[in-house]
């Protein structure tokens, strides 16, 4: 243990003037001396106060930088540059535009055939079309199935910048409205929806000529265990 009596105050160079909120080198030495004296009276070893001071200034938050000959010290916070408000729309617009343009392969009229159709008779006429909404930001899908048990409907497909994914908003003649998440990459089209009691997902693969989409729907009651629902094939009728 070290003991300490009344120590003389170290001289302070009053000729140094710093802007408000900034400490001069002598002032910093005085602060360190006072803390050293306080810690020493409490029975702390001589080197401990300095390490204690350093420990309270994490290196990852700020760094102590000497300027000129070391007469002034300043704390400089390290911050990661953030994109400006002008930069954000530019990056987002470019990204979403590319995603939207990728959907051009869907545009046209397609015939549909589902495995639910009876093999005995002639399958019901089923047709779907994809076309751009004015402005070419959303793809509109419409379908019609000539069977009383199969609903007709419409879907709006677009790219959600915040989620960084496609969304398909689905509406049919039964009054059902659903939102599916969607992906499209390397000729593989996927739709999925996780909902209590009835989750669904679809995977369709484009042929090399982009004239056929071979797909299958699956369903799940718990969102974990999936079972086959039905196959669905699209054949291009016109562009």
Res 78: pLDDT: 46
C-beta of residue 206 within 8 angstroms of C-beta of residue 213: yes
The CATH architecture that domain 87-238 belongs to is Beta Barrel (2.40)
Q: In this prediction, what percent of the chain has a pLDDT beyond 70?
A: 59
pTM > 0.75: yes or no:
no
> CA 225, CA 221: separation in Å to the nearest integer?
7
Instruction: For residue 122, name the pLDDT band (cuts at 50, 70, 90).
Output: confident
Residue 234 three-state SS: strand
Rounded to the nearest integer, the mean pLDDT of the chain is 76
Res 60: pLDDT: 38
Identify the residue with better confidence: 143 or 94: 143
Strand partners, 76: 63
Instruction: For residue 117, name the pLDDT band (cuts at 50, 70, 90).
Output: low
Residue 152 confidence (pLDDT) above 80: yes
Res 94: pLDDT: 74
| Tokens 């915040």 sit on residue | 162
The torsion angles phi and psi of 108, rounded to 5 degrees, stand at: 140, -170
Residue 191 confidence (pLDDT) above 50: yes
Q: So where are the chain's domains?
A: 25-77, 87-238
Residue 228 confidence (pLDDT) above 80: yes
Token pair of 84, please?
């400006």
* Tens digits of residue pLDDT in 192-203: 999 999 999 999
Residue 165 confidence (pLDDT) above 60: yes
Lowest mean pLDDT among 51-60, 100-109, 148-157: 51-60
Identify the residue with better confidence: 62 or 190: 190
> CA 146, CA 118: separation in Å to the nearest integer?
14
Res 49: pLDDT: 43
Q: What's the whole-number mean pLDDT along residues 41-68?
A: 42
Residue 208 confidence (pLDDT) above 80: yes
Q: CB count, 10 Å around CB of 71? A: 13
Instruction: For residue 124, name the pLDDT band (cuts at 50, 70, 90).
Output: confident
Identify the residue with better confidence: 89 or 226: 226
């Amino acid at each position: 243990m070290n003991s300490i009596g009344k120590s003389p105050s170290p001289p302070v160079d009053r000729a140094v003037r710093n802007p408000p909120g900034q400490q001069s080198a002598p002032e910093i030495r005085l602060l360190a001396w006072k803390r050293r004296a306080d810690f020493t009276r409490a029975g702390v070893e001589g080197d401990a106060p300095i390490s204690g001071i350093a420990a309270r200034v994490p290196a990852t938050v700020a760094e102590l930088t000497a300027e000129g000959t070391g007469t002034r010290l300043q704390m400089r916070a390290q911050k990661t540059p953030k994109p400006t408000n002008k930069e954000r729309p530019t990056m987002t617009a470019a990204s979403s535009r590319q995603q939207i343009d990728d959907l051009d392969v869907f545009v046209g009229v397609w015939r549909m055939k589902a495995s639910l159709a009876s093999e005995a008779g002639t399958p019901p006429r089923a047709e779907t079309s994809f076309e751009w909404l004015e402005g070419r930001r959303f793809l509109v899908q419409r379908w019609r199935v000539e069977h009383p048990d199969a609903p007709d409907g419409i879907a709006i497909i677009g790219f959600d910048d915040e989620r960084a994914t496609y969304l398909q908003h689905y509406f049919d003649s039964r009054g059902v409205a659903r939102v599916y998440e969607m992906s499209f990459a390397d000729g593989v089209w996927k739709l999925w929806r996780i909902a209590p009691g009835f989750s669904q997902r679809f995977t369709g693969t484009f042929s090399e000529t982009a004239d056929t989409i071979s797909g299958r729907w699956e369903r799940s009651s718990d969102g974990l265990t999936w079972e086959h629902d039905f196959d669905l094939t699209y054949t291009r009728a016109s562009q």
